[in-house]
Amino acid sequence: MIRNLYFETTNILFTRAQALVWVANGLSFLDLFEKSSGNLLSEIITKCPEEKTLIINFKGIIRFDDHCLDKVFNSLEGNRKQIIIINGEHLHSEFIKLKKEKQININHDSVNKLLIIGNNRPFDIEDLNQEREISVKKYISNVLKSTFSKFEEYKRLCSTPFLANGEFDSKKIIESPKDFMWISFYMSDKLFQLIESEKLTDVVLVSASLRGSSFTSILGILNELEYVNIDHIGPIHKVYDFNNLDLKHRNRNYVYIGDFVFGGTEIKLTKVYASFAGARLDHALVLGSLFDSSVFNDFKLHELNTLREIATDAKFKLFD
């Protein structure tokens, strides 16, 4: 189980505090780091070789519970291991308080907005961050690639004019506890950036498929946003929950959450249904798209990773 909770590269191990919270205590208090989460963290610290640095992203954590870091500080005894906390400056005084009398170094690097705990050996944060980002990108890429299953012969992709030699199936991500968790976190980061950069307010997440709803619900929880799952807008659209379009969503910004996009029909249909409710849908966030986002005029498409780069095995041709 612990192997799912961190990534390892040449010089670093990295993890995220909210991942530990999810596994330890579920999704109800994602901003609270409790003892059970701390116990998982100390297991990771134990696994981390002394020469590597453990980077922990404390994004989303606002509060600590008492005793939550007892085992963590025990694992850091002797200051042999090095931990870097990112997105955790606001927790500096809490770390110090919870350290109590233990002789563990805790330093604050206000320039780089980091906390450094344990071993004070020098490091280049840019290099480490780059290593981490490359690893994340590679992971996402591999996961998305692995969702591709080849057909025995070319088949028509539903509601598109294309024949394909295979299909991307996000079920493979959802089915895997590790992949579903980490892809959700990376989608959540992407969603956060999208909302910031597009200056969106009054956001409601919306999905229109079975797979999309798994991502929508978790993103709604991670990003603290409302969400709506429209039941069965499919290629033959039978909307089962006709009442789902909540009139109090008038003038809200719907952001479509989905898995893989080809023709974008589903998104367009969702946009139409959204307008019945008085809401606007100008943005869609998906795992990957076959086409470049410039192809879509009705909405702005954002992807976790572009399929075109990674799907080297996938082949498409026009249906005639």
Partner 1 sequence: MKEQIINVGSLSSLSNLNYHLTKELKILRESYLNGNGNIPIWDLTSLTPKKVSFAALTTFLSISKVIRDFVGKPIEIKVQWHPEFQGFLSDIAFLKISKEFDLYDWKGMLGGFSSNKTSPNTRIFYYSDIPTFNYTDTNCIIDWKDIKREELKRSISFRLKPIFDNTYFINQWNKELEAIFTTTISELVVNSLIHGRSIAFVGVQRTRKGITTCICDSGIGFLNSLKKYKPELIDYLDNSNLKSILYSSFHSKNKIGLYRAISDVIKSEGYINISSFDSEILWKSKNWEYVDNNQTLEDVLKLRLEKSDYYINGFVDIEKLDNGYFKKYDHFLMGSRITFEIPFSHD
Partner 2 sequence: MEILHITDLHLDNFTGESEFLRKGFYKEYIDRLYNALENKIKPVKIDYLIVSGDFVNIGKVENYSDVEIILNYILDKFSIDKKNVCFTIGNHDYKWKELDKSDIEKEKKLKNPFFKFRNKYNSTFVVEAEHFFLSKLDYNTYYLSIDSTWNSLNGSPGQLSVSEEDKLIASLNDNIENNDTLLIGCHFPIISFDSNFLAGEEMDWHNNHVWIKGNTLRDRIKRLNIKNIVWFHGDVHASDQKVIENEIFVLTSKFGGIADKSEQKRQAVLISIDESNISKIACKYEFPTHGQDQRLGDWDCSELQELRKFKINTTTINVNQDELTPFNQEVENEILRLVKERDLYKFGRFHVSEEYISLGWVDINRLMSDKELLNRISDKCYEFISSKITSLPEEYLLLGVEIIGGVIASQLSVRLNIKNSIIPVRSKSDHYSEFEFSHSSAFDNINNIKDVILFIDIISTGNTINSLIEEILLRNEKINIHVISIITNDIEKKIRSIPKTKSYITFCTKLKIPIIKHSEMPTEEYVVPNLKF
Give the binding site for partner 1 (CB under 8 A).
25-26, 28-29, 31-32, 34-36, 62-63, 65-67, 97, 100
Which of 210, 278, 280, 308 touches partner 2 (CB under 8 A)?
210
Q: From the list partner 1, partner 2, none, which binds 97 (C-beta under 5 to 8 Å, kind-based)?
A: partner 1
Which of 28, 197, 201, 294 touches partner 2 (CB under 8 A)?
28
Choice between 91 and 191, CB closer to partner 2: 191
Choice between 26 and 122, CB closer to partner 2: 26
Helix, strand, coil percentages (3-state) for the chain, rounded to 5, are 40, 25, 35
Phi then psi for 92, rounded to 5 degrees?
Answer: -55, -50
Q: Does 9 bind partner 2 (CB under 8 A)?
A: no
Rounded to an integer, what distance in angstroms lies between the CA atom of residue 84 and that of residue 56?
Answer: 6
Is the Cβ–Cβ distance between 30 and 221 less than 8 Å? yes
Q: From the list partner 1, partner 2, none, which binds 243 (C-beta under 5 to 8 Å, kind-based)?
A: partner 2
CB of 84 to partner 2, least distance (A): 25
**Residue that is written with structure tokens 């990003």 in the block:** 223
Choice between 71 and 302, CB closer to partner 1: 71
CB of 179 to partner 2, least distance (A): 10
CB of 63 to partner 2, least distance (A): 17
Distances from the Cα of 213 to the Cα of 115, 156, 171, angstroms: 37, 24, 12
Where are the alpha helices (H) located in 64-158, listed in sequence order? 70-75, 92-99, 125-145
Which of 241, 292, 298, 313 touches partner 2 (CB under 8 A)?
241
> CB neighbours of 197 closer than 8 A, spacing ≥ 6?
none
Local structure of residue 130 (DSSP, 8 states): H
Instruction: Map residues 154-183 to x or -, x wherever contact with partner 2 holds by CB under 8 A.
Output: ----xx-------x-x-xx-xxxx--xx--
Rounded to an integer, what distance in angstroms lies between the CA atom of residue 108 and that of residue 116?
Answer: 6
β-bridge mates for residue 303, sequence order: 286
Q: Does 27 bind partner 2 (CB under 8 A)?
A: yes
Is the Cβ–Cβ distance between 132 and 55 less than 8 Å? yes
The H or E element that residue 226 is part of is strand 226-229
Is the Cβ–Cβ distance between 293 and 302 less than 8 Å? yes
Choice between 131 and 259, CB closer to partner 2: 259
Q: Which residues bind partner 2 (CB under 8 A)?
A: 1, 4, 22-23, 26-28, 149, 158-159, 167, 169, 171-172, 174-177, 180-181, 210-211, 213-214, 217-218, 220-221, 226-232, 234-236, 238, 240-244, 246
